[in-house]
Structure 1
């Protein structure tokens, strides 16, 4: 197999992108600190709070977050112990399970959302022009679609 090595420009762009994504995740998590939620907690609660009626099948939640079954299970176990989420059996499928948002989880996401939005604004939205933000969205969609197509 012939490897097409990255050019110096390609490598610089790639390293800039990977460093950015790592730094953003760390900073977004740090900014959630006062809420008592970790960034993964927040991601789970967002997905459940946006679903109706505040529950998703485990398989759907894992797919939406691009997490392995094991990662999701461990995360939910930790959140369940804190009363943020629950689990319910699926009545139509004995093997299926729902992740559910508890009242405490709903209160936590409502309290944390303003912190998260302020962080996203400070770190990304307010730094970019409208055109740059649209370009960022288009590039992100293009890359995500490529990954989604690979399955």
Structure 2
């Protein structure tokens, strides 16, 4: 698994496209395009898949569950994605999430919970990922 994060509009999508040559259709599941949380990857007919907009999928979880339950659900999804990836040597799951954890802490409780759960989700994702890159201004920095 490869986790890519960085600020909004900092070139994460372009960097992934350039470095992995992933085509948008079928391989690229984006919350920004209205794709629902990809719980099960067994229907995917490609060996490389990009999951983009993790922070939006986490936000949907926080609307339904408390933060502890969100993290349990998130970690179950991560385990499933990792299992799918490990079924074949050529498989790769690339996860893109915008960093929303910096800056001013939101005043609204629901936005604070979203920010906190997203931070924990990214920590969990980074822990199980084989590689982690931060993209700023189109440039990557490999941190794992």
TM-score by length of 2: 0.26
Relative to its length, the structure with more helix (as a share) is 1
Whose RCO is larger (CA < 8 A, sep 6+)? 2
Greater radius of gyration (CA): 1
